[in-house]
Amino acid sequence: MNQKYVITGGPGTGKTSIIRELSNRNFFCVKENARDIVFSRNSKVDKLSSFIHYENKISDLRTKSYAITPNNQICFFDRSVFDCLAYLKIKKIEVSSQIKKNINSCIFNKKLFFTPLWPEIYHNDKIRTESITEAKKIEKTLLETYKSFGFKPIMIPKDKVSKRVDFIISFLNLKKK
């Protein structure tokens, strides 16, 4: 049974906090790597070729992270290569062959843990600059993209981080750690 689970959702919905708590509970977790590629909205990333380059780079990092995860234990991922597809779709940019190849290299469990938009915790920072309206569009596109690949979204309730993690663990019929 595939034990590699994606936790995704729009920006600012608590994914990273959930991943951090799962890690604190001794689960193998892969953190979001898009923030590792530092850029600002004033840079050239908004230009078509730069955006494709940016998504290709994120896709490559996510694929490399996937490749080094163990197959014999549960792993949680803060986003996946499928998120790249959604972001390209929003920008109306064709998916590169590089990203298609990476998607074929990353096989996840079809149970998708999804963090819904939560305006009360949403805030912008240097990298997360999307408005709530843009965040809703990202959320919708992410759901459509994952569903198109056969994923079954499981909505994580809006609650304290510990309760959200308890929900994930209970959904997988695991004992609390």
DSSP string, 64-122: HHHHTS-SSS-EEEES-HHHHHHHHHHTT-PPPHHHHHHHHH----SEEEEE---TTT-
Between 109 and 135, name the one with better pLDDT.
109
Residue 37 has a pLDDT of 63
Residue 177 has a pLDDT of 44
Q: How far is CA 3 from the centre of its chain?
A: 16
Q: Given a cut of 60, is residue 47 above it in pLDDT?
A: no
Q: What is the mean pLDDT of residues 72-86?
A: 96
Residue 169 has a pLDDT of 95
Structure confidence by residue, pLDDT tens digits, 92-125: 999 999 999 999 999 999 999 999 998 777 776 7
